[in-house]
Amino acid sequence: MQETQRGRRFIIIDNFLSSQHFAAAQDLMERTAFTLRESVISAEDGPAFRSRGARFGQDLGVTDAGVQPHVYEELARTVRAYSDFYGEADTDWDKITFAFWKYPAGSRLGWHNDAGLGRQGEFILFLHDRWRPSWGGELKLIDEDPQPVTEDEAAESDLVLRMEARIELTTTSPVAIVPKPNRLVMVKADTVHTIGRVDHTAGDTLRRTLTGFVSKSPVRERTRASALESLSAMLTTN
């Protein structure tokens, strides 16, 4: 595991997992059921495959599925370790959600920023065996802190057009991150980014990732969790 690049709004860690645990994460992905989903960003993106999600709760030790794959634990440990990037656990965030994604040739994900919903940031772990740079599928992002929303942007209902309006106002060009196998990319919330279209020359090779969000639960969710903890304590005591 080695941090190889850091920007204002992203961090890249290469060789994130050992060979053994990388293979185990790939096997976990292969044993997971997927559904084909249309893009929630733009109809021009094309569909991609998504798994059912999993989540670490407030104790970051139990997933919804009741299992603790090593890759989940390692990601949770890394998120905690990078408190300068995501903030402090339990104070700035209290849950991590995961889902596997597979992007076939011809698909992409349009410009967006994953803001709101208590998100502090996200991460992408690339799980394919091999990826040629000419196959596309880069994670492209604008490495600038968000600027105040302009009147023109606020008036635009199309998300992609709003994001493109932001890009036109930036002073830098997008950073293109190649989806290298076993590469982890951490990104701050509200970072304008896109997944480049996977080139047809990729053939049957899918862009495979484990993607997750680091978030703060809504007040009502935290209140319910606290009530369940209190009830559990009472039942244990009695």
Q: Kindly report the CATH number assigned to the domain that includes residue 196.
A: 2.60.120.620
Mean pLDDT throughout 40-60?
83
* Maximum Cα interatomic distance, the chain, rounded to a whole number of Å: 64
Contacts of 194 (CB under 8 A, 6+ apart): 108, 109, 110, 111, 112, 139, 140, 141
Q: Give per-residue pLDDT as tens, 90-111.
A: 999 999 999 999 999 999 999 9
Q: Which domain holds residue 127?
A: 2-237
Q: At residue 189, does pLDDT exceed 90?
A: yes
Mean pLDDT throughout 163-185?
93
Choice between 17 and 158, residue whose per-residue pLDDT is larger: 17
Question: Looking at residue 225, what is its pLDDT?
Answer: 53
Q: Give per-residue pLDDT as tens, 219-228.
A: 655 555 554 4
Q: In angstroms, rounded to a whole number, what is the distance separating the alpha carbons of residues 145 and 190?
A: 8
Return the C-alpha torsion angle 68, 70, 75, 76, nearest 10: 40
| Domain count of the fold of the chain | 1
Mean pLDDT throughout 206-210?
98
Q: In angstroms, rounded to a whole number, what is the distance separating the alpha carbons of residues 61 and 214?
A: 15
Question: Are the C-beta atoms of residues 100 and 134 closer than 8 Å to each other?
Answer: no
